[in-house]
Structure 1
Amino acid sequence: MSTRETASGSGAESDLDYDDLGLVAGLEIHQQLDTATKLFCQCPTEIREPEAADRTFTRYLHPTRSELGEIDEAALEESRVDREFEYLAYDSTCLVEEDDEPPHELDAEALETVLEIAQLMDMSPVDQAHVMRKIVVDGSNTSGFQRSTLIATDGEIETSEGAVGIEDLMLEEESAQRVEETDDGVRYSLDRLGIPLVEIGTKPDISTPEQALEAAERIGMLLRSTGKVKRGLGTIRQDVNVSIADGARVEIKGVQSLDDIDDIVRTEAARQRELVEIREELAERDASVGDVQDVTDVFEDTESGVIGGALNSGGAVMGVLLSGFDGIVGREIAPDRRLGTELSDHAKRHGAGGIFHTDELPAYGVTEAEVAALREAVGAGPDDAVAIVAADTDVAEAAIEAAAERAEAALEGVPEETRGANDDGTTRYLRPLPGAARMYPETDVPPVEPDPSEVPEPELLTEKVERYQDEFDLGEGLAEQVAYGKHMPLFEVVVADGIDPTLAATTLESTLTELRRDDVPVEALTETHIASVLQLVESGELPNEGVPDLLTVLAEEPDQTAEEAAEDAGLGGADEAEVREAVVGVVERNEEQVAEEGMQAFSGLMGECMGALRGKADGDLVSQLLREEIQKRA
């Protein structure tokens, strides 16, 4: 496969040769496990609506030192942003989730599942697994750290571009779900906190965007093969580590869609190349970053709404001279993102709305005269740029200092950092890369000794597709839908209980989809509902044609059993005499059409017969009796 592609950079398309760039990438896949309880307590793993919360509490979090007395740089920067964290608690929330009680022992079901995953990736389990604390002070965990356990190492998966090593497999607790920003900080929901999460980290063996996507797809298939992972939006997240030869390792967090991975890698490689070129140009200009200055006086009579609003509230305008940066701050380094956007991302971390810079001014109500006065105030020459922040004085000072630090990093090239994935395939700054000081032992949870000897190796989804075709006589398309679908574990259960495989497959993959399109609330259906409906068909108490109607009734009134719903809705199976009576009635009402068209009237009358029977009769029986009645009169 060719490693030369087209990617966007500096406002124009340019060829990227990934071999020449020295592209290196690795993946971290985070997948929620579908266990009955959470990793360190007995609370359920179901996601709740925020409106269901029955109480709240607040916390302030601060970083702690590791056993060696060190403080992690990423946690330290996070703590500089003064925020209150509010947590939504539910009737199922326990003291462990609130960090008011020590965690319980590691969940056995979760451990067994990750050992299955380790087998599928040819990994070696550790002799003894120790729970570690990973410092997290962004509010996503009430304790101020995430508990993480190394379970297995040294595995491998295959891609069309070569093998990709699997470095480690971790069992972790999921973070709390971010609900919204508040005036004082962030609001989180505790329903997600503590759900078992497997983290799979690859080695940096990936050399093209396409290989990154293929590796992620392969890992996703292996995870789903266990039948023990959660499905749906937010249950799997991909982080991508990317670097080029002259760049630096950048971790990109929170890639929600698998299909975005190749675009993320492609865009990040181009961004790093642009930053390397900016570094070289700044070096030729002998560029530097000056000291932060108060330039409020320049804007005393400004008509700029943003700046005027800050000053009218008693704020200030702080600026910094960027010597040699003229034309560079406004330079595009990724689609619709400029070096100035990077500076702005850092400023926003401290509460500012962003920055203004002279590559984009005059604009936003700032006049040409004010730009000239600003340049004069900081001593800027024609090759220089100036960045400013208008906000409350403390905020403005902290924000412009952060922007200045990012400008200084541009002199070095590509900073090592953690970035967040945007919906458009670009990324934004989040925080510095975490270091070793982030981890230290968890003393409240005893170590465990993983025993893979009794853990069966799951059947791969690709193997399931072949088996469903051979054993159950399903078509290739339907077999693939079932194997890769979220209802695969239920399909296995009901077929083992004697349900016809074709009926089970079409119900799970076709009927439910059609009902969802018709706005039937199928999410209210439980596995018990669906299995009970299929059992009624298997026992002859419900015809195949009654399945959609009965599922609809159960979805709208989920407190009923399938038997109760079928009886109340009159969906029980009709005997042959009742079916014949209904068919005769339809034929007699359409006597003239039958006389004129004969058997050609069959199709139209068949639909009318099924409607008259309201799903109480099997279609084959209705068809047989209708043909008989038409032939009598033809």
Structure 2
Amino acid sequence: MTAEEYDPDAEYEELGLVAGLEIHQQLDTATKLFCDCPTELREPEEATRTFTRYLHPTRSELGELDAAAVEESRVDREFEYLAYDSTCLVEEDDEPPHELDEEALETALEVAQLMEMAPVDQAHVMRKIVVDGSNTTGFQRSTLIATDGTIETSDGPVGIEDLLLEEESAQRVEETDDGVRYSLDRLGIPLVEIGTSPDISTPEQALEAAERIGMLLRSTGKVKRGLGTIRQDVNVSIAEGARVEIKGVQSLDDIDDIVRFEANRQVELVELASKLQDREASVGEPEDVTAVFEDTESGVIRGALSDGGSVMAVLLSGYDGLVGHEIAPDRRLGTEFSDHAKRHGAGGIFHTDELPAYGVTDDEVDALREAVGAGPDDAVAIVADATEIAESAIEAVAERAKTALEGVPEETRGANDDGTTRYLRPLPGAARMYPETDVPPVDPDPSEVPEPELLTEKVERYQAEYDLDAGLAEQVAYGQRMPLFETCIDEGVDPTLAATTLESTLTELRRDDVAVENLTDEHLLEVLTMVETGDLPNEGITDLLSALADDPDRTAAAAAEEEDLGGADEDEVREAVLEVVERNESQVEDEGMQAFSGLMGECMGALRGKADGDLVSRLLREEIQKRA
């Protein structure tokens, strides 16, 4: 089912749809936010050592514990960290953080200017409690930089409430038997978090606002590009629903689907609550029903019991037929229950709306209903796992079933690849923030920060100043190598040559399976400069870039010499042309200038990209004319 087919029946205005965005964008700085380590990502196999931590929530200044952190800490997990030769004591939380990175602060102020925001008089670093293992400290450092901005959309202005400068979390590598493994290469990379006001009223406006913010960020030329460098969180509610924060939307193109599906999910949950209330539904207390399944043929349940586990159940009075009700594409109320059970270590749940199935028989379903006193209008949910896990998981299912009676719970959810979402944790509160005492405050000075040129303005300038066509100008301005293009121009490289090489040539090489990701900006600038100085013909660019991609440890000049790709002088070119013409002398005498096209290709092949095509063409025409 497509998103278009899944539009809510009611108009979004009638639903009272309200949405807001939080955009998290990594900055392309030389060093991390609170230490001098590089911001380059590493491969896990490059790790030189590991260490482990156990994290627990701490109380705020007022002695409060954040609900989201408490729930996260209920699952006892070991966090393993991959460290590298570039990892420092700050990243390991064995040394206090250094002062806030100046380059990151300047970039954040540039972004603030583009959104017409007012910088704070003094920026104070705060600690935000995070105990999922993504930070070795158990918290993330965050600094408010600016407030009260605005961006324009076709449906009206959208306010920008705040801009924060934060440290990126560690990269989650994989689940382990004891917990989670993280990589420290990403931890501490500076990022800006931009939060909009709840001014967004349609899925389309949400997408447009995200695109506008993304364009403004890229206009600085100082943000990282590529998968995972920008993430969008979306806050969505309807009038009869509740605020839901959806984390980790990786693709900007998914935002409208996320908003659309969440609005519909909330409509479905409101309607379910109404039906449950009409039925005077209720939720019972968890019970041990292991005896019902002593002789079961269900592989999941038998596996849990053979390991000494238990089967726990909860009676859902009045829920019959509603646990299996679809609230989003391929997601049901029972899926919500399962998400909560999984947070406590269980593999999932079974419920009577889907049983008998999975090896559970009709007789076992009847015995289960009898064991918990379920009537024909009731449903039963069960969890089979290690006893401690099963007990905590069924309690979580019971709590989620109770909130279904009320409608839409406020919560944090994770984005799935198909545009749907899954439960993660309760919404965080103010208790998760408290001051960072190891980093002194800073006084932002926006007066020394130039306002960046918008990408839309760059497109127009590239056409006017460099005579690029509209398509190529837009490709370059919005492309990942836009800063390199401008560096090339400053170094005297022909704009058209630079643009076509960075956008078209690299794309063609990538399609030919050349490892263009190995090419650095230094490689590309040196190759283009060699063309400008006459040390490399245009025709040699592709071969030289391919050679550098195969062995990136060389300079462009060294690779050109080793691959014999240097420019040939006019005497060498004439000699090669003459050899081709003499070898095909009878064809030249018979066809005259008609032989030019075929011989031109042969000449270029003989010179192997060492000569400019215009020079070869001129000399070949001369030699043919002598014999015609």
TM-score (norm 1): 0.97
Q: Displacement, 1:498?
A: 0.9
The aligned amino acid for 1:395 is I
2:619 counterpart residue number: 625
- Is 1:290 matched up with 2:284? yes
Residue-by-residue CA offset, 1:319-348 (whole Å, 9 max, x unaligned): 000000000000000000000000000001
- Which AA in structure 2 matches 1:88? L
Name 1:249's counterpart in structure 2: 243
Contact 1:6 1:16 in 2 (8 A): no
In structure 2, relative to structure 1, the CA distance for the partners of 1:518 and 1:6 (3 Å cut) is: closer
CA deviation digits over 1:205-248, x for unaligned, max 9? 00000000000000000000000000001000000000000000
In the alignment, is residue 67 of structure 1 matched against residue 57 of structure 2? Answer: no
1:597 deviates by 3.9
The alignment partner of 1:456 has SS state of coil
Match of residue 220 from structure 2 = 226
> Hey, what does 2:396 align to over in structure 1?
402
Partner of 2:119: 125
CA positional deviation for 1:532: 1.0
User: Residue type of the partner of 1:483?
Assistant: A
Within the candidate set 611, 615, 618, 2:609 is matched to: 615
State the Cα distance separating 1:303 from its structure 2 match.
0.5
Give the match for residue 497 of structure 1.
491
Q: Indicate whether 1:374 and 2:368 are aligned.
A: yes
The answer to whether residue 489 in structure 2 is matched with residue 507 in structure 1 is no
* Superposition map of 1:414-563 within 5 A: 414-563=408-557
Distance 1:517 1:599 in 2: 36
Q: C-alpha displacement at 1:486, in angstroms?
A: 0.7
Deviation, structure 1 residue 595: 4.1
| Superposition deviation, residue 601 in structure 1 | 3.1
Structure 2 unaligned spans of 5+: none
Q: Could you give the per-residue CA deviations for residues 479-518 of structure 1, whole angstroms, max 9, x where no partner exists?
A: 1111000100011111011111111111111111111222
- SS of 2:9's equivalent in the other structure is strand
The residue that corresponds to 2:332 in the other structure is: 338
- After superposition, residues 143-292 of structure 1 pair within 5 angstroms as 143-292=137-286
**Any idea what SS the aligned residue of 1:273 has?**
helix
- 1:365-422, CA deviations, whole angstroms, 9 ceiling, x for partnerless residues? 0000100110011010110000000001111010111011111110010000000000
What SS does structure 2 have at the residue aligned with 1:291? coil
Aligned partner of 1:326 among 316, 320, 323: 320
In 2, the alpha carbon distance for the partners of 1:495 and 1:368 equals 76
Q: Confirm whether residue 40 of structure 1 aligns to residue 8 of structure 2.
A: no
1:630: how far off? 2.7
CA positional deviation for 1:359: 0.2
Distance in 2, matches of 1:16 and 1:177, equals: 40
CA-to-partner distance for each residue in 1:459-485, whole Å, 9 max, x for gaps? Answer: 000000010111111111111111000
Cα contact 1:6–1:15 (8 A) shared by 2: no
SS of residue matched to 2:133? coil
Q: CA deviation at 1:565?
A: 1.2
The residue matched to 2:286 in structure 1 has which SS? strand
Counterpart check, 1:109 vs 2:103: yes
Contact 1:16 1:270 in 2 (8 A): no
- Cα distance in 2 between the residues matched to 1:14 and 1:368: 37
Q: Which amino acid counterpart does residue 499 of structure 1 have in structure 2?
A: V
Give the distance between the partners of 2:257 and 2:88, measured in 1 at CA. Answer: 41
Tell me how far apart the structure 2 counterparts of residues 276 and 351 of structure 1 sit (CA, whole Å). Answer: 29
Equivalent residues of 1:72, 1:438 under 8 A apart: yes
Mapped partners of 2:337, 2:144: distance in 1: 37
* Contact 2:8 2:260 survives alignment (8 Å): no
Q: Residues 338-367 of structure 1: CA distance to partner in whole angstroms, max 9, x if unpaired?
A: 000000000011111100000000000000
Distance of 2:282 and 2:153 partners within structure 1: 45
Task: Tell me if the contact between 1:7 and 1:16 (Cα under 8 Å) persists in the aligned partners.
Answer: no
Residue matched to 2:132: 138
The percent identity for this pair of structures is 83
Alpha-carbon distance between aligned partners in 2 of 1:273 and 1:541, rounded to the nearest angstrom: 67
Distance in 1 between residues matched to 2:625 and 2:481, nearest whole Å? 44
* Counterpart Cα distance in 2 of 1:596 and 1:210: 67
Partner of 1:20: 14
- Give the Cα separation in 2 of the matches to 1:487 and 1:97: 30
Give the Å deviation of 1:591.
Answer: 3.5
C-alpha distance in 2, partners of 1:303/1:397? 22
* Letter paired with 1:204: P
Cα 1:562/1:6, change in 2 over 3 Å:
closer
- Contact kept? 1:56, 1:88, Cα under 8 Å: yes
Q: Which amino acid counterpart does residue 254 of structure 1 have in structure 2?
A: G
State how far apart, in whole Å, the 2-side matches of 1:578 and 1:313 are: 81
The answer to whether structure 1 residue 392 and structure 2 residue 379 are counterparts is: no
Inter-partner Cα distance in structure 2 for 1:616 and 1:212 = 52
- Could you tell me how far 1:559 is from its partner in structure 2? 1.8
Distance 1:412 1:381 in 2: 22
SS at match of 1:15: coil
Aligned match of 1:306: 300
Return the alpha-carbon distance in structure 1 between the equivalents of residues 204 and 596 of structure 2: 54
Letter matched to residue 430 of structure 1:
L
Supply the AA of the counterpart residue of 1:438: R
Residues 370/593 of structure 1: CA separation in 2 closer, same or farther (3 Å cut) = farther
How far the C-alpha of 1:589 sits from its partner, in A, is 2.9
Tell me which residue corresponds to 1:350.
344
Q: CA RMSD in A?
A: 1.1
Which deviations, in whole Å up to 9, do the C-alpha atoms of 1:90-116 show, x marking residues without a partner?
000000000000000000000000000
Mapped partners of 2:586, 2:353: distance in 1: 83
3-state SS in 2 of match to 1:486:
coil
- Checking the alignment, whether the CA contact within 8 Å between 1:7 and 1:270 is kept in structure 2 is no
2:536 and 2:567 in contact (8 A); partners too: yes
Q: Contact (CA 8 Å) 1:418, 1:433: kept in 2 or not?
A: yes
Aligned partner of residue 236 in structure 2, secondary structure: strand
Other structure's SS at 1:86 match: strand
Counterpart residue number, 1:83: 77
Matches of 1:432 and 1:15 in 2, distance apart? 29
Q: Distance in 2 between matches of 1:168 and 1:346?
A: 32
Output one character per residue of 1:115-159: Cα deviation in whole Å (capped at 9) or x when no partner.
000000000000000000000000000000000000000000000
Q: How far off its partner does 1:528 sit?
A: 1.1
Q: Structure 1 residue 6: deviation in Å? A: 4.9
Aligned mates of 1:275, 1:48 — CA distance in 2: 43
Distance 1:569 1:547 in 2: 12
Kept in 1, the 8 Å contact 2:413–2:424? The answer is yes
> Displacement of 1:593 after TM fit?
3.8
Q: 1:102 to 1:328 in 2, by over 3 A?
A: same
Which consecutive residues of structure 1, in runs of 5 or more, have no partner in the other structure?
Answer: none
Displacement after TM superposition at 1:602 (Å)? 2.5
Residue 156 of structure 1 aligns to a residue whose secondary structure is strand
Q: What's the secondary structure of 1:572's corresponding residue?
A: coil
Task: Say if 2:8 and 2:264, in contact at 8 Å, map to a contact too.
Answer: no
One-letter amino acid matched to 1:546: G
Residues in 2 aligned to 1:371 and 1:594: alpha-carbon distance in whole angstroms: 91
